[in-house]
Amino acid sequence: MSDQANLWHWLADTLEHQSAVMLMIVVSSTGSSPGKAGAKMAVTAQGDCFGTIGGGAIEYSMVRHAQTLLEKELSVPELNLRRHVLTGGGQASGMICGGEQIVLLYRCQNGDLELFRRIAEMARHKIPGLLKLSPAGIQLDPSPNLPKPVQFSANADNDWLYQETLGIYKQAYLIGGGHVSLALSKILATLDFDITVIDERDMPDTLARNTDAHRKLTMSYNDIDKAVPEGDQVFVFIMTHSHKTDEKAAELLAEKKLRYLGVLGSRKKIALLKENLGSRLSTDALKRIRGPIGLPIQSHTPAEIAVSIAAELIGILNAGESNTA
């Protein structure tokens, strides 16, 4: 079950046993603030917590503030916007990382219980929806239409809107089920990716041992373009058992609109691959092929290579970089 599904299930279960629960959401984040937009944490008046909004002094302060609000007997939900500047001056937080984050506090009600269960099931089964929070409360729209996963706007203290797309996950397609694929799957699972591993061999041992992949497909790489969809949340990693099949997969996928298309291998291998494909692909398609994939950290073992690839992905995701044009 995803972290998002677990959070909403925890909220619903807690509401069944006690009425005072505060949901905190980072609705806006700039610079090096520890909590990114969309990060969530729930806390009870007794101090039971689930999730995180970045940790450290800011999170500690927000938990204490949430508990203070929960101790008040309010007849209506209270929504607060708390702005934190993480610098050494002004509204200093005691942190020196720099940046700013705005945290929304929503006092959950017993009437929210069924809504939270519904959101948890949507997250679990990857059913799209749109979560909305405003001074009027919390609601769920079944038709997500945001240009990005999280959106926040504010005109005044009583005129703001937070929206978040639900049920749409980052999708990782690992073409090849070898040792690096096995190691990368393990890390991508912790980053909340939906993972599909495809191999044309009949279940090699490394693929059989992969317990983190959500799907394992056996099919010819000549048909790989039929198995991989387009989309801004689709990330493809080509790491088959041979240069020839790497090249074939790259050729079939390079014309697709994908967030990320990378090939595992040395600079020499990637240069040769692109040289071979130069006469068969358009210039734009050729540019979409990344390689060597991963940050240059002198990685050698499958685990080290997987870490370098994951680090590259985190940089792309946090920078909002797109490859689908």
pLDDT in tens, 80-110: 666 666 555 444 444 445 567 888 999 998 8
β 21-30/100-108 pair status: antiparallel
Read off the pLDDT of each residue in 183-212 and give the average, rounded to a whole number.
95
- Domain 170-319 is of which CATH architecture? 3-Layer(aba) Sandwich (3.40)
Residue 7 has pLDDT above 80, yes or no: yes
Q: Where are the domains of the chain?
A: 3-166, 170-319
Read off the pLDDT of each residue in 206-224 and give the average, rounded to a whole number.
96
Q: Number of H helices and number of E strands within the chain?
A: 10, 14
pLDDT over 70, % of the chain? 87
Write down the pTM of the prediction.
0.71
Which of the residue ranges 63-77, 100-114, 268-282 would you say has the lowest mean pLDDT? Answer: 63-77
pLDDT computed for residue 90 by the predictor: 44
Query: What is the 3-state composition of the chain as percent helix, strand, coil, each rounded to the nearest 5?
Result: 35, 30, 35
Peptide bond into 292 cis (omega under 30): yes
pLDDT computed for residue 92 by the predictor: 46
Cα–Cα distance measured from residue 181 to residue 295, given in angstroms and rounded to the nearest whole number: 16
Read off the pLDDT of each residue in 124-153 and give the average, rounded to a whole number.
85
Please calculate the CA angle 108-194-118 and round it to the nearest 5 degrees.
30
Q: Which of 24, 19, 9, 217 is nearest to 106 (CA)?
A: 24
Residue 251 has pLDDT above 50, yes or no: yes
Residue 169 dihedral angles phi and psi, to the nearest 5°: -110, 160
Q: Give the amino acid at 290.
A: R
